Structure 1
Amino acid sequence: MPLTLRELLAFDVLREARPRVLAGDASLDRVVRWVHSSEIYEIGPLLTGGELLLTTGLGLAGTDAGARRHYLREIAQRGVAGVALELGRTFPETPRELVEEARRQELPFIALYAVVPFIRIIEHVNTLIVDYAGRRLRLGDRATRALNETLIAGAGVAGVLATGAEVIGAPLVLVAASGALVAAHGVAGDREAWRAVEHAGCETPVTLHGGPWGRLVAGPGSALPGEDLMIALERTAVALALAMLRTGSPPSERDQQVSALLRDLIEGTAEADAAVRAMMAGFQLPPGHVLVGVAAEAVETAAALAVVDRAAHILHTSAIRGRVSRLVLGALAVPPSLTDTVGAAAQALEEALRRLSATQLRVAVGPPAADLADLGPSLRDARAALGLRRATPVVTTRALALDLELTRHFDPSHAADLVRRAISPLVDWDRTHRTDLVTTLETFLLHGCSPTRTAAALHLGRQSFYQRLHRIETLLGHPVTDPTVHTALLLATTAHRLLR
């Protein structure tokens, strides 16, 4: 850790000088960048900040009180860590004006009542400072070298996260600016990833295309000091941005046309000429087919595009897709033989993710659209769904209809009131006992109150689930399968998750 003035005063070499802090007690936690000694009156302009200045006051001999105040004021304006005055050679006791000015400037001012050669203090402290700086440089170099080797080997985001987590010694979680969980390493699942975010050791922004794309969070457990942890995390964030920018060759003219069309569709400005522009870009909706909008977090653009293409291949159909801002947007043309168009598209995307091992991607499926002119709302809903935290890599807007509706009209005070009226005993129990009864109840309601499906979704044995359900109904005082309370409970559990 960097040395503070408070820590420095506890060193034996300074304790021998019998230091006494006469001013600036509240500023003793300033970091000491260097220890310097000088007897020059005009030393102020030569200082750059962070120094502990040692002096016998020889340069102040023969000056009046006003000049001494000016001397200390000029030093304080340079941002030094503190001033230590050795008594006995020039001043038998500390001049009152120096103490008063130091207090006015909130500058640590220390009187040394015993003589210790300044060279001893300087050598001891500056050696420690240099050793610390060298160790930080070595850590940064080690992190950069390991991350560069990972990038050169062709590893994507998952590989960079794994390397960064190894250097840092803690879980790493990548969160998009929308709030969606994008990727993680060192955690068992999404729920554990969010726990790591809630108890983060530190975090740093991830910048892409000149703007904020998201944030990289280091979970608890790292043995690195705070500043060292931040250095390693920042190096990892840079490597992640490079991995995400690896999209292969520049987009073709056709790709640019598709991206422009999708951008205009989601902004609602391309309904009239959408079909013509799509044909010019090489896409035509087959007769009888229905379009289903798709949105994917473009952590790795090539991977997201490949997932949409593979899903189209699985459905034996065609697709339109392209990069729009930080997302990959598109649509699958679902054949008329598939009555559940949304479900078929979601299943195909899940299979595509599995076949391509693109587990770091999150994909949302919008409602069906009759043609390209109606695709905009489907794309907008799919984009909004990406911002909602769900455990599965593929989500549909119909499954998140309640979440989306609450989000559009979200009122924290109203949501908190819903939670308080319907499920406050469960919230209190979870907080006190570190359980997940609210999540269990929501999962049960979303799975049609089926114990078998709920237990499977929560990775629980049926007996363990029934024990939780008994606890839930005991705390609430009524059965949760009563149709008259189903809506209220589902609203409350969803609101509680959104509030978290």
Structure 2
Amino acid sequence: MALTLRDLLSLDTLREARPEVLAGEASLDRVVRWVHSSEIYEIGPLLTGGELLLTTGLGLAGADAGTRRHYMREIAGRGVAGVALELGRTFPEMPRELVQEARRQDLPFVALHAVVPFIRITEQANTLIVDAASRRLRLGDSATRALNDALIAGAGVAGVLATGAQVIGTPLMLVSASGALVAAHGVAGDREAWRAVEDAACEAPVALHGQPWGRLVAGPGSALPAEDLATALERTAVALVLAMLRTGSPPSERDRQASALLRDLIEGTAEADSGVRAMMAGFHPAPDHVLVGVAADSLETAAAPAVIDRAAHILHTPALRGRVSRLVLGALSVPRAVTDAVGAVSQALDEALRRLSAPQLQVAVGHPAADLAELGPSLRDARAALGLRPAARLVTTRALALDLELTRHGDAGHAADLVRRTISPLVDWDEAHRTRLVGTLEVFLLHGCSATRAAAVLHLGRQTFYQRLQRIEALLGYTVTDPDVHAALLLATAAHRVADR
């Protein structure tokens, strides 16, 4: 465990010196990186931060009050953990200007009223500091070995997460940047996982392809000190990224062609030869077919292409798919005779997700496009839809039309004013009581103001739901089923949710 100034003041050698804290009492939990003694006045430039400086004040002998204040300011500016001045040799009592300047700089300043050789203090303190650093290195090496063994054994994300949780001794949750709970270990279910996230002891960022992807969260209860916990969690996050990037085989030339074409389509830079490039990628849709764009955010690299391929098999039509940055993009072909192309693609993808058991994958379905030239907007909308409903593994852009419009065109200030004017009593109540009245109202409105359907979606008993509804109407001061307020409430609740995302 990292040693703080408070810890060091309780050591036997420092207690023998009868320490008295004269300034910076609120900063005694600063971590001490090293204990150093010096009597020179120009010690400031030689300090690098985190030191506890021991001195008898010899370098200040004969200096005036202004010079002594400058000495304290310079040391404080170097970021030291604190200063301890031994009384008796140079100063029989503490100079007032040193105490005043230390208080002004919020610098822990300690008077040592008894003489203890500084070598005894530094020897005991620095030995403990080195031992703690060595133990952290040993823990990091131990965690790395365990995680490497899991990766070598072929463990996926779930296996690496389980290994990390065993090393750390607490539940681990993997949360995407959009706020979705992607995976967890050591909890009974999603509800318990979110409670652990709220009470997190530590978290580490997770990045894929050089871009922020999410965060790895350690729940409460670990016996590891804070720095050791952070070290082990960081090593686990690195191993998770390796597991997520594992593909099993390098991409084929056809895969590379598909990825390049999809990248140009979504960026709007595809040229007139898109049809030829699609053929080179193995995509041959019939002339009487429409194309539906698909975007997938996959934890396991191989999962998303497998789901898109299975959906194409279910539809008995060809598919185009490839990785573009951290996402997998694709297009599924549907006969024009199918009235609801989006519905057909959604059903096929939903069945593929169930058959392949891919719970750590979110798929978004765009709108129909007549041909490759019109596929770009469908892909862009599908990509934008990912993360707008993090709890859903399959979403469509038509179901998220309002969310997408708010995201694409919404002004943050205007949206905030809309929320404030329309549902601020609910927002304030949720923040004060940690409830979900705004989310409850949105679900109620989205399901046609049906209490039965809304209660089922929220997994609430009817009586509990009616109690929430009564609270909502009491806070707003009107009936939310009034058709005149339906559009405004739905817009405000969506704006609030999109802003939170």
Contact in 1 for aligned 2:206/2:237 (Cα 8 Å)? yes
* Change in CA separation of 1:261 and 1:14 when aligned onto 2, cut-off 3 Å: same
Alignment of 1:79-90 (within 5 A): 80-88=80-88, 90=89
Q: Distance in 1 between matches of 2:99 and 2:433?
A: 55
Q: Distance in 1 between matches of 2:29 and 2:478?
A: 57
Q: How far did residue 251 of structure 1 move?
A: 1.6
Equivalent AA in structure 2 for residue 361 of structure 1: L
* Change in CA separation of 1:362 and 1:195 when aligned onto 2, cut-off 3 Å: farther
Contact in 2 for aligned 1:23/1:102 (Cα 8 Å)? no
In structure 2, the residue matched to 1:300 is 300
Per-residue CA shift, 1:401-440, capped at 9, x if unaligned?
1111111122333323333443344334434443323222
Q: Distance in 2 between matches of 1:340 and 1:24?
A: 70
Q: Distance in 1 between matches of 2:341 and 2:319?
A: 14
Equivalent AA in structure 1 for residue 449 of structure 2: C
Contact in 1 for aligned 2:293/2:365 (Cα 8 Å)? yes
Q: How far did residue 379 of structure 1 move?
A: 0.1
SS in 2 for 1:247: coil
Q: How far did residue 465 of structure 1 move?
A: 3.3
In structure 2, the residue matched to 1:485 is 485
Q: How far did residue 395 of structure 1 move?
A: 0.5
In structure 2, the residue matched to 1:184 is 183
* Change in CA separation of 1:474 and 1:33 when aligned onto 2, cut-off 3 Å: closer
* Change in CA separation of 1:321 and 1:43 when aligned onto 2, cut-off 3 Å: same
Equivalent AA in structure 2 for residue 307 of structure 1: V
Contact in 1 for aligned 2:161/2:236 (Cα 8 Å)? yes
Equivalent AA in structure 2 for residue 423 of structure 1: I
Q: Distance in 2 between matches of 1:444 and 1:105?
A: 55
Alignment of 1:148-159 (within 5 A): 148-159=148-159
Does 2:393 match 1:393? yes
What are the ranges of 5 or more consecutive residues in structure 2 without an aligned counterpart? none
In structure 2, the residue matched to 1:320 is 320
Q: Distance in 1 between matches of 2:409 and 2:452?
A: 34
Give the count of matched residue pairs: 494
* Change in CA separation of 1:11 and 1:484 when aligned onto 2, cut-off 3 Å: same
Q: Distance in 1 between matches of 2:313 and 2:337?
A: 16
In structure 1, the residue matched to 2:498 is 498
What are the ranges of 5 or more consecutive residues in structure 1 without an aligned counterpart? none
Contact in 1 for aligned 2:294/2:379 (Cα 8 Å)? yes
Per-residue CA shift, 1:332-366, capped at 9, x if unaligned?
11244542211221222222222222211111110
Contact in 2 for aligned 1:182/1:362 (Cα 8 Å)? no
Per-residue CA shift, 1:366-393, capped at 9, x if unaligned?
0111111111010000000013133210
Q: How far did residue 190 of structure 1 move?
A: 6.3
Q: Distance in 1 between matches of 2:151 and 2:425?
A: 50
Q: How far did residue 273 of structure 1 move?
A: 2.2
Q: Distance in 2 between matches of 1:405 and 1:194?
A: 29
In structure 1, the residue matched to 2:246 is 246
Q: Which range moved further: 403-412 or 150-159?
A: 150-159
In structure 1, the residue matched to 2:419 is 419
In structure 2, the residue matched to 1:430 is 430
Q: Distance in 2 between matches of 1:26 and 1:473?
A: 46
SS in 2 for 1:301: coil
In structure 2, the residue matched to 1:141 is 141
In structure 1, the residue matched to 2:351 is 351
Q: How far did residue 112 of structure 1 move?
A: 2.4
Q: Which range moved further: 2-11 or 36-45?
A: 36-45
The alignment's TM-score, normalised by the length of structure 2, stands at 0.85
SS in 1 for 2:204: strand
In structure 2, the residue matched to 1:234 is 234
Q: Distance in 1 between matches of 2:447 and 2:193?
A: 23
Q: Which range moved further: 133-142 or 468-477?
A: 468-477
Q: Which range moved further: 18-27 or 457-466?
A: 18-27
Q: Which range moved further: 113-122 or 48-57?
A: 48-57
Contact in 1 for aligned 2:174/2:182 (Cα 8 Å)? yes
Alignment of 1:103-142 (within 5 A): 110-142=110-142
Percent identical pairs in the alignment equals 76
Q: How far did residue 319 of structure 1 move?
A: 0.6
Per-residue CA shift, 1:86-141, capped at 9, x if unaligned?
444x5363696994998599865544221234454344433432443243234323
* Change in CA separation of 1:57 and 1:468 when aligned onto 2, cut-off 3 Å: closer
Q: How far did residue 55 of structure 1 move?
A: 5.0
Q: Distance in 2 between matches of 1:424 and 1:157?
A: 41
The alignment's TM-score, normalised by the length of structure 1, stands at 0.85
Q: Distance in 2 between matches of 1:320 and 1:267?
A: 17
Equivalent AA in structure 2 for residue 252 of structure 1: S
* Change in CA separation of 1:416 and 1:86 when aligned onto 2, cut-off 3 Å: closer
